[in-house]
A and B are shown apart, each in its own frame.
Chain A
Amino acid sequence: MRRIGIDVGGTNTDAVLIEAGRLLRSVKAPTTEDVTGGIVAALQRLAPGPGVDAVMIGTTHFVNAVVQRRHLARVGGLRIGAPATVSLPAFTDWPEDLRAAVDGGFWAVAGGHDYDGRAFLPLDRAAVEAAGLEMRARGLRAVAVTALFSPLTGEHEREAAEILGRILPDAAITCSHEVGGIGLLERENGALLNAALVPLAAATVRRFEAAIAALGIAAPLYLTQNDGTVTDARRAARFPVFSFACGPTNSMRGAAWLSGLRDAVVVDVGGTTADFGHLRGGFPREANAVVQVGGVRTLFRMPDLVSIGLGGGSLVDAATGEVGPRSVGYRLTSEALVFGGETLTATDVAVAAGLVALGDAARVRDLPPDLPERVMARIRARIEEHVDRVKTAAGDVTLIAVGGGAFLVPDRLAGVARVLRVPHGDCANAVGAAIAQVSGEVDQIYQGLSREQAIAAARRLAEARAEAAGAAPGTLSLVEAEDMPVAYLPGNAMRVRVKVVGDIAAA
């Protein structure tokens, strides 16, 4: 298997070439405004040669579109659950500027289900049709459909999407049960954001494919997702929200692969921030709470990260020894003292402390003699505190330090058994993209089965889904199995959630 992994970051586009479990090359190119230019430049430098089996791209393009309120489509929100739930319509508690860009109207119709899978009310098909006609009259091209308890049964959402699809044949329709779990407002927010991004995602994926084809690479394109797996380009274009947090996830997965460790704490130190996360079984531990995206509450399963304003470009106050959160960012190579600039940064302090050889060390020789020690003590204390915050249990951990600013991480830290640095650690996220696998997931209610039988049934279904998504059958393994008893139901009902992952099948 010969694969290319690409990470499109805010500053650099990194690319790596991996073959038979070995990293052959890693390169960097500046990220361009259109994203594609940076990818083309990186691929030209990488010169992968023939026989590439897959190209996996990790991009934060879609989450950036939400954060910057750019390239978003106007979305009609259809809620199925009236007369319940309507006291809080779609787009409630959205930041005003984002709502103004996305809100295409709200329609509520009767239907949806109860917690036990029985219909709350029959779906009002005539009302769905009427809503569709109004959406068409308003010229809407994107719709989000959200039904009461759809994560338990998506029946009414699918039925409504079918009706709307006939009235609005060119519209991007997102059903909420495909993007989220229990929690109506947050799941609806996810569906609305997804629908708003589908036109951008479809165009972006087309450009990626064209760029790869133009370079003569005849391999399928995959996009990386929040959970560290990939999805084929077609599905990625339909579900851009699943790529929102792929950057940090890829960097943690890359750290696991480069170090050979499956359980550890990872710190990714960049130019401006340091992200702390916890690897468990080779995957980042996911947050179980509400996650804000561009000021909107969502329930996406994202890695549980703590970010602090500490990086190689962080400003240092020579008087107080304070570090960050402001940073010179991508201007590090012109503004830091060691690079001939006039700004005292964390990198300068690290050079003065002898932690790294970068630029002209003579330019930091005249710093106050106790400054490096004071600043590094402060950095150490902050890293120790945040390693501790992401730990899931007491006891010392292994800390993998990756990213361009990893030299700021001291070798000895309280609560850390050892600090591990890995070759190519500065391209960990492109590595994480290159090694990504395909997953299959199931989240549904089973009745009248034992716990073991229910999990086994869910696992078979998840494996079938993973294979349908392109996984090689012999490589599938279980990464998550969770069962929760559902109260008040006859027949030993339980909600089972299972996830399997496997390698991409050779073309």
Chain B
Amino acid sequence: MRRLGPSDIEALATGAWILGTGGGGSPYHALLELRRLLAQGAEIRVLDPAALADDDLVAVVSIQGAPLVIQERLVDSRLIARAVRVMEEHLGRRFRAVMPVEIGGMNGLQPLLAAAHLGIPAVDADAMGRAFPEAQMTTFAVGALSPAPLSTVDPRGNEAVVTRVADWPWMERLSRRICTEFGSIAATCKAPRTGAEVKRWAIAGTTSRAIALGRAVHAARAAHADPIAAVLAAERGRRLFAGKIVEVERRTTTGFLRGRAEVEGLGEDRGARLALAFQNEWTLAARDGEPCAMTPELICVLDSDSGEAIGTETVRYGQRVTVIVLPAAEIFLTERGLAHVGPRAFGHDLDFRSAFAA
């Protein structure tokens, strides 16, 4: 068990935003709330998944919602804690710990807040190792674990439990519908997982990984060193391309932000172009028409000077960016994994090829 302090949460916010690979929502509000809780003396504890007993129960939590609504309603972490209580009431059992469904973006921080309110630790693991847009894009779905039950709450006292669904896409449909009625934002506690399931299927150590990543960036900035080199070293990533954004195209379709961006090479990439596609997160990078990185590997677009991650919602013409790729969790590289989160799951008619293949 590890207790997080002020510098850990600052690093976590930076690291989680990078692991969001362009999506996942900005961790800014969650960071403000974490600072407040810490200042008030709250304990934020992180638990190694190996320390879970097989029959321990873990609450997998997240905030679901439209970015526009989150900007107004903000997010109250006590609601996530309430969603966990609702699930406990439904199951008639208590949870040993909470766990993020995705480490990328704001949902990488929210569970820590909920855990502090509940007085239990957060498991140092998640089910994506990054951010993905849909419920079936998790290691738990790849492992064919049960998608139900799910509890979801709003701040007015409305609470719902989805007790059974036919499959993961049905859970996505039903929970989205409830979320819309709640005002397009909801705190959810997803299908509970046993300690055994977490140890078998979750991606271990991702909170620590995000903290280490953020620390590397902060240290490089403080030393006036190259923060991108620090990211690559911390994550064993690869630099793909450096240049300037020269084109951005966005469209909102069926609840997702889709589009593309073009980077014109600078420095050693001068004369070349990199095309990026996104669906909430970056999904594909192609150098002069040749795919060079693709989902589920993490394509990250970083500000060339600060190393700060640039989101698909805010990327714009003229930004100087460095595009890098970080390795994906092994489980997503299996045939079953690629069926859930490979390039075809995002409409790219391509066989997966690793950016790290020799």
Contacts of B71 on A, CB cut-off 8 Å?
A: 182-184
Does A178 touch B at the CB level, under 8 Å?
no
Task: Report which of B75, B77, B78, B183 forms a contact with A114, defined as CB distance below 8 A.
Answer: B183
Contacts of B74 on A, CB cut-off 8 Å?
A: 84-85, 87-88, 184-185
Q: Could you tell me the distance in whole angstroms from the C-beta of A416 to the nearest C-beta in chain B? A: 15
Q: Are B32 and A92 in contact (CB under 8 A)?
A: yes
Interface string of B10-52 (1 = CB under 8 A from A): 0000000000000000000100110010000000000000000
Task: Report which of B33, B76, B77, B264 forms a contact with A84, defined as CB distance below 8 A.
Answer: B76
Q: Could you tell me the distance in whole angstroms from the C-beta of A149 to the nearest C-beta in chain B? A: 5
Q: Are B156 and A487 in contact (CB under 8 A)?
A: no
**Size of chain A's interface in residues, with CB distance under 8 A?**
30
Contacts of A93 on B, CB cut-off 8 Å?
A: 32
Does B7 touch A at the CB level, under 8 Å?
no
Question: A147's closest neighbor in chain B, by CB?
Answer: B72
For the complex, give the distance between the alpha carbons of A429 and B22 in Å. Answer: 39
Q: Could you tell me the distance in whole angstroms from the C-beta of A342 to the nearest C-beta in chain B? A: 31
Q: Are B76 and A85 in contact (CB under 8 A)?
A: yes
Does B317 touch A at the CB level, under 8 Å?
yes
Task: Report which of B33, B156, B255, B318 forms a contact with A388, defined as CB distance below 8 A.
Answer: B318
Residue among A81, A394, A488 having the largest count of chain B Cβ atoms under 10 Å: A488
For the complex, give the distance between the alpha carbons of A452 and B290 in Å. Answer: 42
Does A70 touch B at the CB level, under 8 Å?
no
Contacts of A84 on B, CB cut-off 8 Å?
A: 73-74, 76, 155
Q: Are A488 and B180 in contact (CB under 8 A)?
A: yes
Question: A87's closest neighbor in chain B, by CB?
Answer: B76
Q: Are B318 and A488 in contact (CB under 8 A)?
A: no
Does A389 touch B at the CB level, under 8 Å?
yes
Does B292 touch A at the CB level, under 8 Å?
no
Contacts of A485 on B, CB cut-off 8 Å?
A: 252
Does A148 touch B at the CB level, under 8 Å?
yes
Task: Report which of B68, B255, B314 forms a contact with A115, defined as CB distance below 8 A.
Answer: B68
Q: Are B246 and A87 in contact (CB under 8 A)?
A: no
Question: B262's closest neighbor in chain A, by CB?
Answer: A394
Chain A contacts with B in 39-91, Cβ cutoff 8 A: 81, 83-88
Residue among A86, A115, A121 having the largest count of chain B Cβ atoms under 10 Å: A115
Q: Could you tell me the distance in whole angstroms from the C-beta of B45 to the nearest C-beta in chain A? A: 20
Does B66 touch A at the CB level, under 8 Å?
yes
Task: Report which of A83, A115, A393 forms a contact with B69, defined as CB distance below 8 A.
Answer: A115
Question: B317's closest neighbor in chain A, by CB?
Answer: A392
Contacts of B255 on A, CB cut-off 8 Å?
A: 487
Q: Are A487 and B76 in contact (CB under 8 A)?
A: no
Task: Report which of A88, A388, A393 forms a contact with B29, defined as CB distance below 8 A.
Answer: A88
Does A390 touch B at the CB level, under 8 Å?
yes
Contacts of B317 on A, CB cut-off 8 Å?
A: 391-393
For the complex, give the distance between the alpha carbons of A85 and B69 in Å. Answer: 11
Interface string of B233-262 (1 = CB under 8 A from A): 000000000001010000010010000000
Does B184 touch A at the CB level, under 8 Å?
yes
Q: Could you tell me the distance in whole angstroms from the C-beta of A157 to the nearest C-beta in chain B? A: 13
Interface string of B162-189 (1 = CB under 8 A from A): 0000000000000000001001100000
Q: Are A121 and B183 in contact (CB under 8 A)?
A: no
Residue among B72, B77, B156, B252 having the largest count of chain A Cβ atoms under 10 Å: B72
For the complex, give the distance between the alpha carbons of A392 and B318 in Å. Answer: 7
Given A92-B32, A114-B183, A393-B317, check contact A87 B78 (CB 8 Å).
yes
Q: Are B73 and A87 in contact (CB under 8 A)?
A: no
Contacts of A393 on B, CB cut-off 8 Å?
A: 317
Given A87-B33, A394-B246, check contact A184 B72 (CB 8 Å).
yes
Contacts of A85 on B, CB cut-off 8 Å?
A: 72-74, 76
Question: B73's closest neighbor in chain A, by CB?
Answer: A84
Q: Are A149 and B72 in contact (CB under 8 A)?
A: yes
Among all A-B residue pairs, the 8 with the closest Cβ atoms: A87-B76, A84-B155, A114-B183, A183-B71, A184-B72, A389-B318, A85-B74, A83-B155
Given contacts A85-B76, A87-B36, 12 further A-B contacts (CB under 8 A): A85-B74, A87-B74, A88-B36, A115-B66, A149-B72, A182-B68, A182-B71, A184-B72, A184-B73, A394-B246, A487-B66, A487-B184
29 contacts between A and B (CB under 8 A): A83-B155, A84-B73, A84-B74, A85-B72, A85-B76, A86-B76, A87-B33, A87-B74, A87-B78, A88-B32, A88-B36, A92-B36, A115-B68, A115-B183, A115-B184, A148-B72, A182-B72, A183-B72, A184-B74, A185-B74, A388-B244, A388-B318, A391-B317, A392-B318, A394-B264, A487-B66, A487-B184, A487-B252, A488-B184
